[in-house]
Amino acid sequence: MPTYDYECLGCGKNFEVYQGMKDEPVIICPQCGGRVRRRISGGAGFIMRDAGPSSPMPSCGREQTCCGSDRACGRADGCGFEG
């Protein structure tokens, strides 16, 4: 579950609430009872990579070939560029 940042429009208090994505947003400040708004933040998040079939790794053991291709280039060691 994500953590949401809130700001009170009355007293200015900033606070976080750990809640589900489908939960109703908080509308009342726990400190003064005033109205609050949910703040937009970058968050830690996560990155999902392509879930498709994986590309063959170059046989030299590098993560990516020297030419930037996601497939092994023309040389047997996977590090050459033919194109």
Question: What tens digit of pLDDT does each residue of 23-78 get?
Answer: 999 999 999 999 999 987 665 666 666 655 555 544 555 555 566 666 655 555 55
- The reported pTM is 0.48
Residue 21 within any structural domain of the chain:
yes
**Cβ atoms of residues 8 and 27 within 8 Å:** no
The total of structural domains in the chain comes to: 2
Judged by DSSP in three states, 5 sits in strand
* CATH number of the domain bearing residue 22: 2.20.28
Residue 46 within any structural domain of the chain:
no
| Residue ranges making up the domain that contains 80 | 54-83
Residue 7 within any structural domain of the chain:
yes
Residue 49 within any structural domain of the chain:
no
Residue 79 within any structural domain of the chain:
yes
Q: What is the pLDDT of residue 1?
A: 76
Please state, in angstroms and as integers, the Cα–Cα distance from residue 45 to each residue in 1, 2, 37, 48, following that order: 11, 9, 21, 10
Residue 45 within any structural domain of the chain:
no
